[in-house]
Every structure is written in C-alpha cells, then in structure tokens.
Amino acid sequence: MYAVTVTFTIAPERMEGFMPLMEQNARLSLELESGCRQFDVCTDPDHPDTVFLYELYDDRTAFDAHLQATHFKEFDAAVAPMIAGKSVRCFSRVAS
C-alpha cells in the first residue's frame, strides 16, 4: 500500500471554484484508476482555506499512473492559479 497526503492552501476567493474540481478529480481517480483504493477530500472549518487529501494506492507505480492520467493533468492545470501553497508527502506501508 502507498499512501499520499496533500495539504493545499487555497486563495480564499478561489475556494468556491477549487472544490468542485477537487471533488471531480477524486471521483475520477477512484472510477478510472484501478490502483487507486481511496481518495478522501477533507476540510477544516477552523481553516477555511485549507484542503487535505488522503489517498491510497496499490503501490508507487499506481500513484505514478495517477500523475500521468489525463483527468489529473487537466485538474492540475486548472487549479494551479488557485493554489497559494501545497505540501505533498508519500508513505510506504511497513510490513509487520
């Protein structure tokens, strides 16, 4: 399992336009990518400009395929001017 977390800071006046695009990207990732197992879009009422993603993929190869997917590339280009900050972290599951 390969986990990815992303924290976006969105320009306040752009959040209304960002969220539908983000929700569509999450939905299409789950529908079209066989290696995408979970894609949660979260917000914090105390920080209305922050969006947190929790994504699970079969492995790094599945995540790399996500980054090359047409729907992701279109999403990424559309939201780029809306993003004030972005942090991505990737985690591999530790076998016990």
pLDDT digits (tens, 9 = 90+) for 17-76: 999 999 999 999 999 999 999 999 999 999 999 999 999 999 999 999 999 999 999 999
CATH 3.30.70.100 applies to domain 1-54+83-96: yes
Closest CA to 5 of 49, 45, 28, 38: 38
Give the pLDDT of residue 96. 67
Whether the per-residue pLDDT at 91 is higher than 80: the answer is yes
Number of residues that this document lists for the chain: 96
Q: What pLDDT band is residue 12 in, cutting at 50, 70 and 90?
A: confident
SS3 24: helix
How is the chain split into domains, by residue range? 1-54+83-96
* Residues contacting 68, CB < 8 A, separation 6+: none
Cα-flanking dihedrals φ and ψ of residue 42, to 5°?
Answer: -125, 150
pTM for the predicted model, two decimal places: 0.93
Whether the per-residue pLDDT at 95 is higher than 80: the answer is no
